[in-house]
């Protein structure tokens, strides 16, 4: 039997990753001086992506055959999800870091916290900074952190955006 029906071809589509007001021209139509753009990634049927495209909401919607409202919602959803994933990673990173630092202070026989330094107030902080510096410089601690980071790479998406002042 010859198959006469054809499965609809899985096409490439743009996935809206979030908004930016740093890029104000549309890669799809060339219009500029937009208030901001939607960052899109071209995704193939296997979910593989190929580079970023920045587009105005209207063009982004047109490219995906949907409404601007759908694009806005998708961009917001993806952005929120990425932020949550990144925040979870940052918390785990900080927890691992604190744990290894604690272990290192114990191993090196250093005080556990600034208040364990029986020093006058004005000397306590610099002394604690010196303790922290010793922990940071410890090779075993550094190796533990590197191993943790190798196993748990920082998610690229969702990092807090650090904006430079204009003209910087």
- Strands 37-43 and 49-55, by their bridges, are antiparallel
Classify residue 71 by burial, with Cβ atoms within 10 Å: 0-12, 13-18, 19+: buried
Could you say which of 23, 28, 66, 127 contacts Zn ion (CB under 5 A)?
28
Residue 72 C-alpha from the chain's centroid: 20
Q: What is the DSSP letter of 115?
A: G
Q: Is 56 in the site for Zn ion (CB under 5 A)?
A: yes
Q: Is 32 in the site for Zn ion (CB under 5 A)?
A: no
29 or 81: CB nearest Zn ion? 29
Q: Is 38 in the site for Zn ion (CB under 5 A)?
A: no
29 or 73: CB nearest Zn ion? 29
Residues in the chain: 168
28 or 82: CB nearest Zn ion? 28
56 or 158: CB nearest Zn ion? 56
Q: Is 158 in the site for Zn ion (CB under 5 A)?
A: no
Please measure the distance between the N-terminal and C-terminal CA atoms of the chain and give it in whole angstroms. 68
Half-sphere exposure of 82 (CA within 13 A, CB side): 18
Kindly determine how many residues on this chain lie close enough to bind Zn ion according to the rule CB under 5 A. Answer: 6
Take residue 141 and report the two structure tokens written for it.
């601690």
Could you say which of 17, 26, 40, 63 contacts Zn ion (CB under 5 A)?
26
Interface residues with Zn ion (CB under 5 A) are: 26, 28-29, 31, 56, 59
């Amino acid at each position: 039997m010859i198959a006469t029906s054809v499965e609809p071809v899985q096409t490439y589509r743009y996935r809206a990753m979030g908004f930016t007001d740093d890029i104000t021209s549309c890669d799809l139509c060339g219009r500029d001086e937009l208030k901001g753009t939607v960052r899109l990634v071209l995704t193939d049927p296997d979910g593989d992506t190929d580079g970023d495209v920045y587009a105005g909401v209207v063009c982004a919607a047109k490219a995906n055959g949907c409404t601007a409202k759908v694009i806005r919602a998708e961009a917001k959803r993806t952005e929120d999800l990425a932020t949550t994933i990144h925040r979870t990673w940052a918390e785990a990173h900080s927890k691992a870091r604190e744990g290894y630092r604690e272990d290192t202070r114990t191993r090196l026989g250093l005080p556990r916290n600034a208040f364990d330094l029986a020093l006058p107030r004005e000397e306590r902080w610099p002394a604690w900074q010196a303790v922290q510096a010793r922990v940071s410089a410890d090779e075993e601690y550094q190796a533990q952190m590197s191993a943790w980071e190798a196993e748990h790479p920082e998610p690229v998406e969702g990092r807090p955006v650090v904006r430079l002042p204009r003209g910087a």
